[in-house]
């Protein structure tokens, strides 16, 4: 088997070669789009991260592909319809950062609740140790609303309970035994929005979760609440968040992901891109507004990024590739 591996960092190549000693591997740093000139008719497999979009154009570059091993839980960066047409199998990493992402969500919540970024900025930029303007709020006794309660969501609930918060959950599936055992309450989305002091998103991105927070329901949010998103950018309508901040519905936000975040990473490519649509342009402008907003914390999609979680990702990816090669595929999404 020949694998084309698109690495985030150079050290991954040696790590994966040790895990897959009998596999031919060609490694490139960056995404498929960063390495647009790479084509290989002899490649059997691709291994990519979420920053690599795979559709018809990318699949045409590897015409004999049999396997895509994505190093992620989400797979919205892969066109599964096009993949199925070509009989290419897709394997993922279903669970690697349950505690990792939940911990990061609370890092954002704590930073917002105690004005940590503002305080640090004052000290480093002005040298002032004045405490004026940095009064925060306790998490104990506050209500946190979780949209989505899979593995990461339930871990977030447990952390919230440790802080003395009251967790509400909106999810399409209800596990009443789990709710009773853990100590949270299922509610419908409007009730969650109306009661929560902090709203945290933990859903996968798909057609059902696209803009689950949007211009129509943003006004239902409790005035002065905080929004945290460590899921996918497009589960939140960016323009709605801007309006909520401007109107005072939201007191602030912590966002590890943004709509069209790839355009923010490479402004040159975005400016030169042909056939830009109006919605995309507005979203990019709105993203810049959020980046500049004094009560919004933006981080560059790093909720997953710990030493332990990245190694779990690579270990599972290596196991997925080895299992496929042995004829016993695991963590299969499409075939």
Distance linking the first and last C-alpha atoms of the chain: 17
Distance from C-alpha of 221 to C-alpha of 89, rounded to nearest angstrom: 41
Main-chain phi, psi angles of 172, to 5 degrees: -70, -25
Which residues are paired to 170 by β-bridges?
Answer: 147
- Among residues 77, 260, 301, 312, the one annotated as catalytic is 301
Contact criterion met (CB below 8 Å) for 197 and 226 = yes
Distance from C-alpha of 227 to C-alpha of 164, rounded to nearest angstrom: 19
Distance from C-alpha of 181 to C-alpha of 30, rounded to nearest angstrom: 44
Decide if 77 is catalytic. no
Decide if 12 is catalytic. no
Distance from C-alpha of 213 to C-alpha of 97, rounded to nearest angstrom: 24
Distance from C-alpha of 236 to C-alpha of 209, rounded to nearest angstrom: 9
Which residues are paired to 151 by β-bridges?
Answer: none
- Among residues 155, 260, 261, 312, the one annotated as catalytic is 261
Distance from C-alpha of 169 to C-alpha of 179, rounded to nearest angstrom: 9
- Among residues 155, 232, 260, 312, the one annotated as catalytic is 232
Decide if 261 is catalytic. yes
What angle (nearest 5°) sits at the alpha carbon of residue 57, between those of residues 3 and 30?
A: 50
Between the alpha carbon of residue 96 and those of residues 120, 222, 276, 318, the distances in Å are 32, 33, 35, 13
Which residues are marked as active site?
Answer: 232, 261, 301
């Amino acid at each position: 088997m020949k694998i084309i591996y698109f690495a985030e960092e150079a050290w991954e190549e040696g790590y994966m070669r040790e895990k897959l000693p009998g596999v031919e591997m060609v490694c490139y740093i960056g995404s498929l789009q960063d390495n647009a000139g790479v084509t290989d008719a002899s490649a059997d497999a691709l291994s990519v991260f979420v920053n690599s979009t795979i559709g018809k154009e990318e699949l045409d570059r590897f015409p004999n592909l049999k396997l895509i091993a994505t190093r992620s839980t989400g797979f919205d960066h892969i066109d599964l319809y096009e993949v199925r047409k070509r009989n290419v199998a897709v394997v993922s990493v279903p669970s690697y950062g349950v505690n990792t992402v939940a911990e990061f969500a609370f890092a954002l919540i704590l930073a917002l609740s105690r004005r940590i970024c503002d305080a640090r900025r004052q000290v480093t930029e002005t040298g002032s140790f004045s405490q004026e303007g940095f009064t925060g709020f306790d998490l104990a006794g506050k209500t946190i609303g979780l949209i989505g309660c899979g593995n990461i969501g339930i871990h977030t609930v447990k952390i919230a309970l440790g802080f003395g918060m009251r967790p509400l959950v909106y999810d399409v599936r209800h596990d009443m035994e789990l709710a009773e055992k853990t100590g949270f309450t299922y509610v419908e989305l409007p009730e969650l929005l109306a009661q929560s002091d902090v709203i945290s998103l933990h859903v996968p991105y798909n057609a059902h979760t696209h803009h689950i927070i949007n211009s129509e329901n943003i006004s239902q949010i409790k005035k002065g609440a905080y929004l945290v998103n460590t899921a996918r950018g497009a589960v939140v309508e960016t323009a709605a968040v801007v309006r909520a901040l401007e109107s005072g519905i939201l007191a602030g936000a912590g966002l590890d992901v943004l709509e069209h975040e790839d355009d923010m990473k490479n402004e040159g490519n975005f400016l030169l891109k042909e056939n830009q649509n109006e919605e995309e342009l507005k979203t990019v402008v709105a993203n810049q507004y959020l980046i500049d907003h004094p009560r919004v914390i933006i981080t560059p999609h790093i909720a997953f990024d710990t030493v332990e979680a990245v190694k779990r990702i690579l270990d599972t990816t290596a196991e997925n590739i080895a299992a496929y090669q042995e004829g016993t595929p695991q963590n299969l999404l499409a075939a």
